[in-house]
Structure 1
């Protein structure tokens, strides 16, 4: 989505808790893609569900893992309607969801803010990106602007439907994957994972 807003202000009213996305997914047929991997939820109208909730499925076990693994409050950029943020907030986490595009309705208040600006402003929070777009450099700019020590990335690997080569190049060069949950569930035909990264120490200058 475009990442053009320059100011930060709140949008979207909160809605009561539960996890209706997961409740929907549990009722769907689950199919294997034939490569021996576990069955995955399948729906012809998957994109409709993704647009309403999120591209990634926040299962209860993945949400609990994030609560245990992440060491600090969270800043989510490109949060959309804030579904993942709301689910984590229900578990007691301090999550600040932001997005460059205001939405009518939503799952929790989402602060209208450019991703790069938000990332630069909140180095004390873990930077969270969930299925960042591959059609612009939002994710790469946010990661470059961020000066904190921890990133939570939810999405597909390089060369698929998330982020750009610039984002993954920075991630590979400056960050180390330190943890990921077991048994994360994604839609049939997609390959998203949940990975926690820590910033690599800056190389020491050579002694002369």
Structure 2
């Protein structure tokens, strides 16, 4: 996943607290030989652990002031002029101007009728119903049921509910996976909180079957990409991946610390940071071809993903199962479309579990041009069965989901 093709030279001045936090999960040799500093460009005080510790609702944009919120949360100067390169190139000031203009010139035209005319935006209660699907305080299936049950037939909310429910594949009991119960004390997830604000700000209540035709985006998106990543993890996603890594009961041939997770194309490390926070061992791999303003981890293994899978570093080879990494879980978050990257990675991997976070429609934004990961896997890797497909928080105009594929037995 890549917001920009500009190469960023990593700094060598790291944060000792974060290195200590991850050293128990990643071999020391791997950290020292593949060093990348957790940092935010332009901030002298960014620390991922402290960021999460201090995060609260007051740090989300107040009165739709994203510029001030980002400056405050990441310790940036008020006059910050960093240029965020992604689907567009913007500064915080320029993004704020776009926010302040609201729906002028169709900036919020996410929903259109059959002849392409923009339709009235969703009501706030429908936006809130959509964002609550992904809250750790709710049951996903019950929230999806409520979204549909309280929708007027033929309404925009009805179209959104039908689309999300028609694509839903909760795990069957035979997979030994289950969607988690709602949390009484939820884990902190700053990306979710600021994403939920963006839905209210941009009048977005979720994707429909027509979202595949949306080609516009918003100036907010590059800001999110650079600071948090291309797609937001949820408690559902973290829990399901953790269950794969640490299956319940006495599973055979599972390391005492669980199966390691290899994240190919780990980007700025937000998913790796969150997964480590719930006890997973993650080896983040990225070729560092893209620039990120914020990096959440210190130990990205900077190498080509295919080469890593074929010949994992000596200090990691034993834990991941040698060539092909057959003893590890493969995680792809917003995998790129170009150069058959996703296909080559999946063909090289020799293990039993593939997790993909990306688009669930055919817009070609991730994975494969004009094709979903589901259809590609069914045709190209029939030895794998899709066992989970659950929605992920989608930025305005997008349609994201988490997919889990398991190798068929026998």
The TM-score normalised by the length of structure 1 is 0.77
Taking the aligned partners of 1:69 and 1:44, their CA distance within structure 2 comes to: 36
How far apart, in 2, do the equivalents of 1:110 and 1:43 lie?
A: 29
Partner-residue secondary structure (3-state), 2:231: coil
Question: CA separation in 1, counterparts of 2:363 and 2:287?
Answer: 24
Cα distance change, pair 34–15 in 1 and its aligned pair in 2 (3 A): closer
Distance apart, 1:77 and its partner CA:
0.4
Matches within 5 A, 1:140-151: 140-151=343-354
- Give the distance between the partners of 1:111 and 1:127, measured in 2 at CA: 15
Q: Structure 1 residues 34 and 135, CA, compared in 2 at 3 Å: closer, same or farther?
A: closer
CA distance in 2, matches of 1:36, 1:151: 26
Equivalent positions of 1:1-208 (< 5 A) are: 9-13=34-38, 15-16=48-49, 17=52, 18-28=188-198, 29=200, 31-32=204-205, 35=208, 44-70=219-245, 71=247, 72-101=259-288, 106-108=295-297, 109-120=299-310, 121=312, 122-157=325-360, 158-164=362-368, 168=373, 171-172=377-378, 173-174=380-381, 175-181=384-390, 184-200=392-408
Q: Which runs of 5+ in 2 are unaligned?
A: 6-32, 39-46, 53-187, 211-216, 248-258, 313-324
Q: 2 CA distance for matches of 1:44 and 1:73?
A: 36
**Deviations, residues 162-195 of structure 1 (Å, cap 9, x unaligned):** 12259957622322101234x5321121111101
What CA distance in whole angstroms lies between the structure 1 residues aligned with 2:341 and 2:207? 35
Higher helix share: 2
SS at match of 1:75: strand
Aligned length, in residue pairs = 192
Output one character per residue of 1:142-171: Cα deviation in whole Å (capped at 9) or x when no partner: 111111111001101455201225995762
- Is the 8 Å Cα contact of residues 364 and 372 (structure 2) preserved in structure 1? no
The CA deviation at 1:46 is 1.8
Q: Higher Cα Rg: structure 1 or 2?
A: 2
Distance 2:304 2:372 in 1: 17
Mark the runs of 5 or more structure 1 residues left unpaired by the alignment.
Answer: 3-7, 203-208
CA distance in 2, matches of 1:198, 1:34: 27
Q: What's the C-alpha RMSD, in Å, of the aligned pairs?
A: 3.1
Q: 1:43 to 1:25 in 2, by over 3 A?
A: farther
Q: Secondary structure at the match of 1:10?
A: coil
Q: Which has the higher strand share?
A: 1
Give distance in 2, aligned partners of 1:35 and 1:167: 16
1:200 deviation in Å? 3.6
- CA change 1:34–1:156 in 2 (3 A) is closer
Report deviation, 1:60: 3.0
Checking the alignment, whether the CA contact within 8 Å between 2:264 and 2:331 is kept in structure 1 is yes
Cα distance 1:58–1:43, how it changes in 2: closer, same or farther (>3 A)? farther
Contact kept in structure 2, 1:77 and 1:119, CA below 8 Å: no
**8 Å contact from structure 1 (residues 56, 131) kept in 2:** yes
Q: Identify if the C-alpha distance between structure 1 residues 32 and 118 changes in structure 2 by more than 3 Å, giving closer, same or farther.
A: same
2:359–2:372: 8 Å Cα contact kept in structure 1? no
CA distance in 2, matches of 1:180, 1:19: 21
